[in-house]
């Protein structure tokens, strides 16, 4: 996480390194963005603005699913298929439950052993576990940097703790939900709202005699997803079966994603979604940065500590306390 | 909407009027809260703080359902049942699609003809259509004022446009979803995430030969809600049938709500939910008021107008634009 000035390159070095597809520079550029130092953040912003014109050319794929569903194995084999097709692949992983960045990096490299050795693959965990969705999380910007560095496919993997899928959904073109064949009980584990976001549901581990159970689950999933109604973009989410072990179903998944990309580009929804996402992130960042400045303020911190118990007990109106606090904050800045 | 100083009472007059259960004063107090005048808002805040100790004693019930499902008729007859049981009932309606406050008030009074003439019933629409969820929306505070004015049951009705149910869900104890008997097609109309919030699903208009269709729909609903998994508070949402016309099923709904209230109070979840809601609204208001101050700023408005097209096109990074804008805003306040 620490990113002292000593280790920092200048703007042109970052830019040229990215365009030269130097993975070490890409890695350091992402670290720059993740830094908590104000000077690093400003340099990171400048870098992003500089490379914006080289971004946008990948297909961005979100991959989620509960723990144990086989995400790493799926990405390992699906990634190999993409590499075989001549793609350069970036895998960004978000694990809000992982606290140590170093451990997490090693973990991912072990999890995706073959991919991590491939020179056409870049794997990077989002180390900043606590600030998921906060200003410290830079997955969306990491996608842009990977695109500037020439990656054709960017996979964003999340374990689905908290709100992480909703955030990932706002940064990808295609959203893939992985589930296991296991009828009712397994489906109950699918978190609220996740199924609605899925552009495809892929059933993993369909091998070793689980084929008939998989067909049952498929029907249950299709029924459940029919309850969700027609989407604005006209896409009908598909349920696909795969076995990473037997390398079955992977090609179909890639074809489905290509089909999605073609249809959405033809109808204009692909670009519309990206425009919407850029606008979404602008307003989201305004909110994040405003709130960060507010909650980092010492006076604000102390006052909240003082008044929160009374608010929770209902002694004061949350609204009047909030207004006082914001007004005091803005007035205090005047005084400084 | 306008609330000139001329019409404004002083703090004690509002407080005493509320405690004396004066509906005219209650109405004017809500209008005060809804005012866009800073001075009105501050007086409203003071009023809320003063009456907080008289609030919290009602059961707060959210009622939602698609247009045409029979919400008004349901509330008309369900309300009459409550009045017969000696309850004082407040009905707050949120209709984000309605633009005119006057028309909306008349509309509600016509919609609930018998209730609107009952002296134990207070009906009030939320007129501020555009600012749903924004600082102008005061439904949550209206609940508190109604409680201070001695209402035992507060119904919050929403047509379910946009995010309105999610917001209402954060201000009620019990959330009721109304649907019609109509198997698959009707269920598709249920918006994403709504079913997950429902503490009970009530099927309306179960009369005139629709009884067997209703049973089919009930099974489909029960199946769908089983997919949602076990709730933290242990409550299992029920599906009930009713006919407002034949006054059938209304008593069962009230008994279910009482059962919920008793169980949740015994387990502590009732109070825990309210504590959570107070905290939720405190942080929500901080965000709303901070953002309001930001977006109302003239410089900010002009700059956003200038840069938004370029952000949407991807010419600049949303993040760096957001940071510049927030920094400029906070620096500008220093200069003022």
Phi then psi for residue B163, to 5 deg, are: -100, 15
* A219 touches B: beta carbon within 8 Å: no
- Inter-chain contact A229–B291, Cβ cutoff 8 Å? no
**B55-108 confidence digits (pLDDT tens):** 999 999 999 987 778 888 999 999 999 999 999 999 998 865 544 443 344 455
* A193 touches B: beta carbon within 8 Å: yes
Confidence (pLDDT) at B3: 45
Q: How many contacts, defined by CB atoms under 8 Å, are there between A and B?
A: 170
Torsion angle in degrees (nearest 10) through CA of B53, B59, B65, B69 = -130
Which of A45, A260, A30 has the alpha carbon at shortest distance from B321?
A45
* A300 touches B: beta carbon within 8 Å: no
DSSP string for residues in B211-267:
HHHHHHHHHHHHHHHHTT---TT----EEEE-BTTTTBSHHHHHHHHHHHHHHHHHH
- Inter-chain contact B316–A52, Cβ cutoff 8 Å? yes
DSSP conformational letter for A244: T
Mean pLDDT in chain B?
Answer: 84
User: Which residue has tokens 């004066």?
Assistant: B22
DSSP string for residues in A74-92:
HHHHHHHHHHHTT--EEEE
d(CA A198, CA A176): 6
**B123-154 confidence digits (pLDDT tens):** 998 765 444 444 447 889 999 999 999 999 99
d(CA A121, CA B309): 34
| The token pair that represents A124 in the structure block | 């990077």
Nearest residue of A to residue B274, measured between CA atoms: A312
- Residue B334: which pLDDT band, with cuts at 50, 70 and 90? very low
- Inter-chain contact B323–A190, Cβ cutoff 8 Å? no
Which of B248, B177, B254 has the alpha carbon at shortest distance from B206?
B248
Which of A22, A27, A28 has the alpha carbon at shortest distance from A40?
A28
Determine contact, residues A290/A296, Cβ cutoff 8 Å: no
* B45 touches A: beta carbon within 8 Å: yes
124-163 in chain A: CB under 8 A from chain B: 141, 144
d(CA A317, CA B158): 23
Confidence (pLDDT) at B261: 98
Determine contact, residues A35/A128, Cβ cutoff 8 Å: no
**B234-270 confidence digits (pLDDT tens):** 898 899 999 988 889 999 999 999 999 999 999 999 9
- Overall size of chain B counted in residues: 336
Beta pairing, strands A89-94 & A121-126: parallel
The model carries a pTM of: 0.77
> How many angstroms separate the Cα of B271 from the Cα of each of B145, B258, B265, B280?
19, 15, 7, 14
d(CA A285, CA A277): 12
**B310-333 confidence digits (pLDDT tens):** 999 999 999 889 999 999 998 766
DSSP conformational letter for A248: B
| The token pair that represents A252 in the structure block | 């179909």
Q: Is A36 helix (H, G, I), strand (E, B) or coil?
A: coil
* A301 touches B: beta carbon within 8 Å: no
Residue A123: its H or E element: strand A121-126
Confidence (pLDDT) at A2: 46
Torsion angle in degrees (nearest 10) through CA of B104, B110, B113, B115 = 0
CATH 1.25.40 fits A1-54, yes or no: no
Q: Is B6 helix (H, G, I), strand (E, B) or coil?
A: helix
| The token pair that represents B7 in the structure block | 């019409």
- Residue B166: which pLDDT band, with cuts at 50, 70 and 90? confident
A98: alpha, beta or left? (left if phi > 0; alpha if psi -120 to 50): beta
With a cut of 50, say whether residue B40 has pLDDT above it. Answer: yes
| CA atoms lying within 13 Å on the CB side of residue A31 | 18
d(CA B319, CA B307): 12
CATH 3.40.50.1820 fits B56-267, yes or no: no
pLDDT tens for chain A, 336 residues long, are: 444 555 678 999 999 999 999 999 999 999 998 888 888 988 999 999 999 999 999 999 999 887 778 888 999 999 999 999 999 999 998 765 544 443 344 455 567 888 988 999 999 987 654 444 444 478 899 999 999 999 999 999 987 666 678 888 999 999 999 988 874 555 655 665 677 789 999 998 888 888 888 888 888 788 777 766 678 899 988 999 999 888 899 999 999 999 999 999 999 999 999 999 999 999 998 998 899 889 989 999 999 999 999 999 999 999 889 999 999 998 866 444
Which of A241, A155, A232 has the alpha carbon at shortest distance from A197?
A232
User: Which residue has tokens 């019609």?
Assistant: B180
- Inter-chain contact B289–A326, Cβ cutoff 8 Å? yes
d(CA B328, CA A294): 15
Q: Which residue has the higher pLDDT, A301 or B227?
A: A301
Determine contact, residues A31/A42, Cβ cutoff 8 Å: no
- Inter-chain contact A190–B287, Cβ cutoff 8 Å? no
**B180-203 confidence digits (pLDDT tens):** 887 455 565 566 567 778 999 999
| The token pair that represents A332 in the structure block | 């205090």
d(CA A326, CA B39): 16
């Amino acid at each position: 996480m620490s990113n002292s000035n000593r280790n920092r390159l200048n703007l042109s070095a970052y830019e040229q390194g990215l365009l030269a597809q130097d993975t070490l520079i890409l890695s350091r550029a992402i670290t720059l963005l993740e830094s908590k130092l104000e000077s690093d953040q400003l340099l990171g912003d400048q870098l992003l603005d500089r490379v914006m014109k080289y971004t946008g050319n990948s297909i961005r794929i979100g991959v989620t699913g509960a723990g144990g569903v086989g995400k790493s194995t799926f990405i390992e084999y699906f990634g190999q298929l993409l590499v075989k097709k001549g793609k350069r692949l970036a895998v960004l992983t978000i694990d809000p439950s992982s606290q140590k960045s170093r451990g997490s990096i090693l973990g991912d490299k072990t999890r995706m052993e073959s991919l991590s050795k491939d020179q056409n693959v870049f794997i990077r965990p989002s180390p900043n576990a606590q600030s998921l969705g906060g200003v410290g999380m830079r997955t969306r910007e990491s996608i842009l940097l990977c695109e500037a560095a020439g990656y054709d496919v960017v996979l964003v993997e999340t374990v689905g703790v908290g709100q992480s899928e909703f955030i990932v959904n706002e940064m990808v073109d295609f959203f893939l939900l992985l589930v296991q064949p296991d009828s009712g009980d397994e489906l109950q584990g699918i978190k609220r709202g996740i199924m609605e976001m899925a552009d495809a549901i892929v059933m993993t581990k369909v091998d070793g005699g689980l084929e008939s159970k998989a067909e049952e689950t498929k029907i249950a999933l299709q029924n459940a997803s029919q309850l969700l109604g027609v989407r604005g973009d006209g896409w009908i989410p598909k349920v696909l079966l795969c076995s990473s072990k037997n390398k079955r179903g992977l090609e179909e998944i890639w074809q489905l994603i290509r089909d999605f990309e073609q249809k959405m580009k033809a109808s204009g929804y692909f670009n519309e979604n990206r425009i919407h996402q850029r606008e979404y992130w602008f307003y989201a960042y305004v909110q994040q940065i405003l709130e960060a400045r507010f909650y980092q303020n010492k006076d604000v911190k102390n006052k909240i500590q003082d008044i929160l118990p009374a608010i929770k007990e209902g002694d004061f109106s949350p609204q009047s306390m909030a207004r006082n606090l914001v007004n005091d904050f803005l007035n205090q800045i005047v005084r400084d």
